[in-house]
Amino acid sequence: MVKVKWLGHAAWLISFKDTTVIIDPYLTGNPSAAMKAEDVKADMVLVTHNHFDHLGDAFNIAKKNKAKLIGKFELAQDAMKAGVPESNAIGINIGSMTKFGSLEIAMVPAVHSGNEGGFIIRGDGKTIYHAGDTGLFTDMQLIKKLYKPDVAMLPIGGFFTMSPKEAEIAVKYVGAKTVFPMHYNTFPPIKQDAHAFAKKVKGAKVVVLDPGQEYTI
């Protein structure tokens, strides 16, 4: 049993049996944040890219919790400069699955800016795809082929990322049976109707959460 909690924007708290992971913890300054950074308890902090609305409080959360911070190599270097111990600042890159305790984690491509990527996280019999910030790209089909995700967190806000129109195609490419929209309604340029998106998607269950709401997968 794995629990996922949407913290607003692209931030997620994922609770596995013995490991808690937070992804893209933009909490301080986030008008939709469902948790304060100082209240986060996590064993791992994953960061898809270095834009402010994804990096957020990652370094402080990692230091406070003595948590592993995982992101691209350059981001790990920045984490060490910010005081995250070298042993906890883990720089990886787009490639294959790597074992971290009871979890397997891989970075996968995204089409954006800011040294971007997405994450595949596998644990307790579930495979989760967090797309980070991305536009639609046809190689998303390889995520389905290589990793077969059960769950996908996909941006739908448009302007900086996919809009619902592109995200609807991404659902087909990725093949996850449960999809969570994210990265919308935080700021005026990315205002979208997630429930309208959910009605249009075929072949997957779209779960629209409110910030702070938890779902068991």
Confidence of residue 8 (pLDDT cuts 50, 70, 90): very high
Average pLDDT score over residue span 80-84: 98
Estimate the crossing angle of helix 73-81 against helix 58-65, to 10 degrees: 70
Instruction: Pick the closest to residue 55 from 36, 32, 93, 28 (CA basis).
Output: 28
Q: State how far the Cα of 167 lies from the Cα of 107, in Å rounded to an integer.
A: 20
CA distance 151 to 161: 19
pLDDT in tens, 29-76: 999 999 999 999 999 999 999 998 999 999 999 999 999 999 999 999
Residue 196 within any structural domain of the chain? yes
Domain count along the chain: 1
Q: Which CATH number do you get for residue 152? A: 3.60.15.10
- Whether 69 is covered by a domain: the verdict is yes
The 10s digit of each residue's pLDDT in 167-191 is: 999 999 999 999 999 999 999 999 9
State which residues form the domain around 191: 3-210
Q: Which residue has the tokens 């087909």?
A: 172
Tokens in use for 83?
Answer: 């005081």
Q: Closest by alpha carbon to 146, among 84, 97, 93, 207?
A: 97
On the question of pLDDT at 116 being above 90, the answer is: no
Query: Does any domain span residue 25?
Result: yes
Phi, psi of 213 (to 5 degrees): -80, 145
pLDDT digits (tens, 9 = 90+) for 122-157: 999 999 999 999 999 999 999 999 999 999 999 999
* pLDDT at residue number 144: 98
Query: For residue 49, which of 129, 135, 4, 107 has the smallest C-alpha distance?
Result: 107
The answer to whether residue 216 sits within a structural domain is no
pLDDT tier at 115 (50, 70, 90 boundaries)? confident
Quote the mean pLDDT of the chain: 96
Parallel, antiparallel, or unpaired: how do β-strands 68-72 and 89-92 relate? parallel
Checking if the pLDDT of 114 tops 80, the result is no
Domain annotation covers residue 217: no
The number of residues in the chain equals 217
Q: Give the model's confidence band at 104: pLDDT under 50 very low, under 70 low, under 90 confident, else very high.
A: very high
- H/E segment holding residue 46: strand 44-46
What is the rounded average pLDDT of the residues 104-118?
Answer: 92
The whole-model pTM stands at 0.96
* Cα–Cα distance, 215 to 4 (Å, whole number): 5
